[in-house]
């Protein structure tokens, strides 16, 4: 696996392991998606991927993450960390950037399987990638957004120090719905009371930041 720099990257919190997606993990993640991500009457996502027919949802999930993994470059990347609790996949936490070597900004998105929600996993895994981005990649800002009725996502954002940064309107299931943009910086980030453990980051720096690691 010397040709794949993300192979050994691991983020660890007190409860969770976050590792970039691999095929074995994606199979379990697809099964988790089929078990449910949100109540069917709600749509928390800007891309309505969970509305796919059940006989397509698993394949669509695999193909989406394969495409993003294959397209990684310093100019545009998304690392999809598969999140595990006690060895079981509970969701996925993405961290992405466009032109990171110049802009030094990241974006994030995530979902947790319905049966694992309400346990603080979403907050813990987003805190992990923020600490990773700020402390190990040198990011100066992290952006996100959420529909105004996605109360759980907004609660996580408030806990971590995000601030509103404007709004925009998006068509959701054929109707207009407002999203709020959110911004957090190293200065406003409300750090958790635990320290993130990171291994395998050195080999990733040329791909994610465009720079070689310091000697």
The pLDDT > 90 percentage for the chain reads: 96
User: What is the enclosing helix (H) or strand (E) of 193?
Assistant: none
Give me the pLDDT at residue 210, please.
Answer: 87
Give me the pLDDT at residue 212, please.
Answer: 75
Give me the pLDDT at residue 70, please.
Answer: 95
Give me the pLDDT at residue 214, please.
Answer: 63
pTM value? 0.95
Give me the pLDDT at residue 215, please.
Answer: 55
Domains of the chain, by residue range, sit at: 10-194
Which tens digit of pLDDT belongs to each residue from 65-100?
999 999 999 999 999 999 999 999 999 999 999 999
Q: Report d(CA 94, CA 84) in Å as an integer.
A: 14
Name the β-bridge partners of 188.
none
The mean pLDDT value for 149-160 works out to: 96
Is 90 exceeded by the pLDDT of residue 211?
no
Give me the pLDDT at residue 200, please.
Answer: 97
Give me the pLDDT at residue 91, please.
Answer: 98
Give me the pLDDT at residue 1, please.
Answer: 56
CATH architecture of 10-194: 3-Layer(aba) Sandwich (3.40)
Kindly report the three-state secondary structure assignment for every residue of 99-166. Answer: CHHHHCEEEEEEEECHHHCCCCHHHHHHHHHHHHHHHHHCCCEEEEEEECCCHHHHHHHHHHCCEEEE
The mean pLDDT value for 133-141 works out to: 98
Contact 50, 33 (CB under 8 A): yes
The two tokens of residue 86 are: 């006690």
């Amino acid at each position: 696996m010397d040709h794949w720099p993300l192979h050994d990257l691991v983020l660890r919190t007190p409860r969770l392991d976050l590792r970039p997606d691999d095929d074995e993990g994606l199979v379990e993640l697809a099964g988790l998606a089929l078990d449910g991500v949100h109540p069917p009457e709600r749509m928390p996502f800007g891309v309505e991927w969970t509305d796919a027919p059940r006989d397509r949802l698993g394949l669509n999930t695999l193909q989406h993450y394969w495409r993003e993994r294959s397209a990684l470059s310093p100019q545009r990347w998304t690392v999809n960390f598969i999140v595990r609790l006690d060895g079981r996949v509970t969701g996925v936490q993405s961290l992405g950037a466009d032109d990171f070597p110049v802009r030094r900004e990241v974006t994030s998105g995530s979902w947790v399987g319905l049966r694992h929600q309400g346990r603080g996993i979403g907050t813990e895994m987003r805190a992990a990638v923020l600490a990773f981005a700020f402390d190990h990649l040198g990011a100066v800002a992290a952006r996100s957004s959420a529909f105004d009725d996605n109360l759980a996502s907004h609660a996580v954002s408030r806990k971590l120090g995000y601030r509103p940064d404007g709004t925009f309107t998006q068509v959701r299931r054929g109707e207009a719905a407002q999203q709020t943009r959110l911004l957090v910086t190293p200065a406003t980030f409300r750090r958790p009371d635990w320290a993130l453990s990171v291994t395998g980051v050195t080999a990733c720096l040329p791909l994610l930041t465009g720079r070689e690691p310091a000697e």
